[in-house]
């Protein structure tokens, strides 16, 4: 055998299996790597002594495809994959994506829309009353009644639509072990109702054994946006493994029961899960299909932590992994890196030692360990909590140990870094070593915007914090004679961002000499606080109204303003500036974003003038390259000098000898 779990009947026969315990179904290609959720759950079950088979990207149009490996003895566990299937398939503009990094050959279309529901219904059709457990990011974020951006309506909990018996949310190792043990002992799946980190459907609240809170029903949140916002805030507040309560939500005559979150794995448990016998590669059945592109980003990377207390309102991490940080031991990470150095393709570079947020190695404060995270308060934004323990000592020690390993040329950090947390660390030691040793030419950080009002809606620190970080980063690069740059991630059209705010962002980019090559529109993914703002027009934290840019044309203008130098964006930028009352930014000064149109020129004539002007300035390919490197665009370049009448370049004389240099 090749070390993978069996994916066909012949592979099971080669192992001598006449039966197996659990079938794992995934919407991703089968990649046996610890950054792929289905691979983790498969190996955790295997470590518990169960026989596990994997069915990756089955043909949902053929029920027989789900029976290809036979009926498992204990149950089916399924996931849409590492991403929500709708996010995997559609852009923020609801356009169909043409590729899928989690599928062989980067090919799109190998999983269905709403894969969790489709797969579970196919399994129910084929295997009848077999226990079905759904999990993964898609199930986790859709566990309550939730706004669905692609249908523009509130949908029921995915547990009801999928006809599954249980839903595991968050990082599911604890819940999966407990469910498997109960099923193996003969407990009917309908009686497994007290496992933390799971959801089930009941007839009455008496089925819930925990302290509980009830939120407005599916029918109420579908009809009343204020009720939706109230429910969303309770769901966030109770998502804490120490103080969180169970949450009940009625769906018609049925009652959705969401048990309190499971405790995160401790360091020893996290080490154990990370070091299970993963092959760390895509299954060889994909070799002739072009492989699975998603492995390239993680093949030589190490995840050292879980959880994030950064609490960005548009990010799903807080609602999935939770805000409590747990980390692996130094010895475990070192063992993994040593193993990577023996990989035949390893060239001396570890691409990342990170996680959801790379520079978090411990809980945000001591109080959190005993009492959980504070309700209605954030650890970092808009300003760090006075109790915040901003200390990089342990992370810094780990990185130093890794740098000393034989065969290591460079350790990079490419996961997200919280720059406000770095600045709160008074020692500055980590900041200095980050610049000296761990930047791969460009450091990517996420200020997201420059208007503090918008940043408050995002749950991000104010722009002054980013400016202070950027200045210190520049000083350190000069001190250590490094040519390294900052790449700021920015977002347009987030709830609370008006057209005037978008203009201010363009002004800020102009002042700082930045223009992003790519920009990200706000994407309303299921379950987040920002998505709640988008749908309801209310900030669930305060229940106050919030402006929401939903018109596609306004969103296009906000996006264009972030790339104002591009000639093809000119019409949108001109319209945006006029609509925002900012004609002062149309002119020839350094502060201006675009030049005025030629007097008397109509739209078509202006376009023709721009096209001719651009063509006269573009020149040769080498000149184009030079202009791009200098950050220039044809619209902003000085016009070429006109040749005098009758002027021609003198022809070289025949047989003329070249002049000697010097």
Encode 437-472 in three state secondary structure.
HCCCCEEEEEEECCCHHHHHHHCCCCHHHHHHHHHH
Q: SS3 letters for 497-526?
A: CCHHHHHHHHHHHHHHCCCCCCCEECCCCC
Distance of CA 419 to the CA centre of its chain: 18
In a domain, 562, yes or no: no
- What pLDDT does residue 615 have? 42
* 56 three-class SS: strand
Closest CA to 21 of 199, 196, 191, 181: 181
Can you tell me the mean pLDDT for 4-28? Answer: 97
In a domain, 133, yes or no: yes
- What pLDDT does residue 600 have? 53
Q: Give CA–CA dist 644/430, Å, rounded.
A: 61
Structure tokens at 661: 């240099």
- Can the peptide bond before residue 382 be classed as cis, meaning omega within 30 degrees of 0? yes
- What pLDDT does residue 516 have? 82
Evaluate if residue 346 carries a pLDDT over 60. yes
Strands, sheet with 198-202, edge to edge from the N-terminal-most edge strand: 52-56, 22-26, 75-79, 132-135, 166-168, 198-202, 254-258, 246-251, 212-214
In a domain, 569, yes or no: no
Number of structural domains, the chain? 1
Can you tell me the mean pLDDT for 10-22? Answer: 96
529-560 tens-digit pLDDT: 999 999 999 999 999 999 999 999 999 999 99
Find the CATH number of the domain harbouring 112: 3.40.50.280
Q: Cα(first)–Cα(last) distance of the chain, in Å?
A: 71
Evaluate if residue 264 carries a pLDDT over 70. yes
State phi, psi for 541 to the nearest 5 degrees.
-75, -30
- Eight-class DSSP state of 586: B
In a domain, 259, yes or no: no
Evaluate if residue 211 carries a pLDDT over 80. yes
- What pLDDT does residue 599 have? 62
Q: Are strands 301-303 and 254-258 parallel, antiparallel or unpaired?
A: unpaired
| Reduced DSSP (H G I as helix, E B as strand, rest coil) percent helix, strand, coil of the chain, to 5 | 40, 15, 50
Q: Give CA–CA dist 323/239, Å, rounded.
A: 9
- What pLDDT does residue 1 have? 52
- What pLDDT does residue 370 have? 87
- What pLDDT does residue 642 have? 39
407-451 tens-digit pLDDT: 999 999 999 899 999 999 999 999 999 999 999 899 989 999 999
pTM: 0.88
Region of 441 (left: φ > 0; alpha: ψ -120 to 50; beta: rest) is left
Q: What range defines the domain where residue 194 resides?
A: 9-198
Q: Are strands 166-168 and 132-135 parallel, antiparallel or unpaired?
A: parallel
Q: Give CA–CA dist 371/412, Å, rounded.
A: 35
101-120 tens-digit pLDDT: 999 999 999 999 999 999 99
């Amino acid at each position: 055998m090749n070390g993978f779990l069996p994916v066909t009947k012949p592979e099971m026969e080669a192992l001598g299996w006449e039966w197996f315990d659990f079938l794992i179904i995934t919407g991703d290609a089968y990649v046996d790597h610890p950054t792929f959720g289905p691979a983790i759950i498969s190996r955790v079950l295997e470590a518990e002594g169960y026989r596990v088979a994997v069915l990756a990207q089955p043909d949902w149009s053929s029920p027989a495809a789900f029976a290809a490996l036979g009926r498992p003895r204990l149950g089916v566990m399924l996931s849409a994959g590492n991403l929500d299937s709708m996010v995997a398939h559609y852009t923020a503009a609801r356009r169909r994506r043409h590729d899928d990094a989690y599928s062989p050959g980067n090919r799109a279309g190998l999983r269905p829309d709403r894969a969790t529901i489709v797969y579970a219904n196919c399994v129910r059709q084929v295997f009848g009353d077999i226990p079905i457990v759904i999990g993964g990011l898609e199930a986790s974020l859709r566990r309550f009644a939730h706004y669905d951006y692609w249908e523009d309506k509130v949908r029921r909990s995915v547990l009801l639509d999928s006809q599954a018996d249980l839903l595991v949310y968050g990082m599911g190792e604890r819940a999966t072990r407990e469910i498997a043990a109960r099923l193996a002992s003969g407990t009917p799946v309908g009686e497994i109702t007290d496992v933390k980190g799971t959801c089930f459907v009941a007839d009455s609240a008496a089925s819930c054994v925990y302290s509980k809170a009830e939120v407005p029903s599916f029918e109420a949140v579908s009809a009343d946006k204020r009720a939706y916002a109230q429910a969303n805030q309770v769901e966030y507040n109770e998502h804490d493994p120490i103080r969180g309560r169970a949450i009940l939500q009625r769906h018609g005559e049925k009652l959705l029961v969401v048990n309190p979150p499971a405790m995160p794995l401790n360091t020893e448990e996290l080490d154990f899960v990370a070091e299970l016998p993963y092959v760390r590669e895509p299954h060889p059945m994909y070799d002739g299909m072009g492989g699975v592109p998603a492995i390239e980003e993680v093949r030589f990377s190490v995840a050292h932590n879980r959880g994030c207390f950064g609490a960005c309102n548009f990010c799903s991490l807080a609602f999935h992994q939770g805000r409590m940080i747990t980390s692996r031991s130094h010895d475990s990470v070192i063992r993994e890196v040593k193993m990577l150095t023996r990989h035949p393709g390893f060239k001396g570079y570890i691409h990342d030692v990170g996680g959801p947020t790379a520079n978090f190695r411990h809980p945000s404060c001591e109080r959190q360990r005993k009492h959980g995270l504070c309700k209605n308060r954030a650890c970092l934004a808009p300003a760090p909590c006075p109790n915040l323990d901003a200390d990089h000592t342990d992370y810094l020690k780990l990185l130093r140990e890794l740098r000393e390993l034989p065969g290591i040329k460079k350790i990079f950090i490419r996961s997200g870094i919280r720059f406000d947390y770095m600045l709160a660390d008074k020692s500055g030691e980590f900041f200095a070593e980050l610049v000296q040793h761990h930047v791969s030419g460009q450091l990517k950080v996420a200020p997201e915007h420059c208007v503090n009002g918008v940043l408050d809606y995002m749950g991000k620190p104010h722009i002054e914090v980013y400016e202070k970080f950027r200045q210190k980063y520049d000083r350190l690069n000069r001190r250590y004679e490094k040519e390294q740059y900052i790449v700021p991630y920015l977002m347009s059209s987030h709830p609370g961002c008006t057209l005037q705010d978008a203009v201010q962002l363009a002004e800020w980019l102009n002042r700082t000499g930045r223009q992003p090559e790519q920009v990200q529109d706000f994407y309303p993914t299921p379950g987040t606080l920002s998505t709640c703002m988008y749908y309801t027009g209310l900030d669930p934290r305060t229940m106050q109204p919030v402006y929401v840019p939903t018109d596609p044309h306004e969103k296009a203008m906000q996006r264009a303003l972030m790339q104002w130098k591009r000639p093809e964006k000119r019409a949108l930028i001109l319209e945006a500036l006029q609509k925002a009352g900012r004609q002062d930014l149309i002119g020839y000064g350094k502060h201006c974003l675009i030049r005025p149109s030629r007097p008397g020129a109509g739209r078509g004539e202006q376009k023709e003038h721009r096209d001719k002007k651009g063509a006269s300035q573009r020149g040769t390919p080498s000149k184009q390259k030079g202009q791009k490197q200098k950050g220039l665009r044809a619209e902003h370049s000085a016009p070429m000098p006109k040749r005098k009448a009758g002027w021609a370049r003198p022809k070289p004389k025949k047989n003329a000898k070249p002049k000697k240099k010097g």
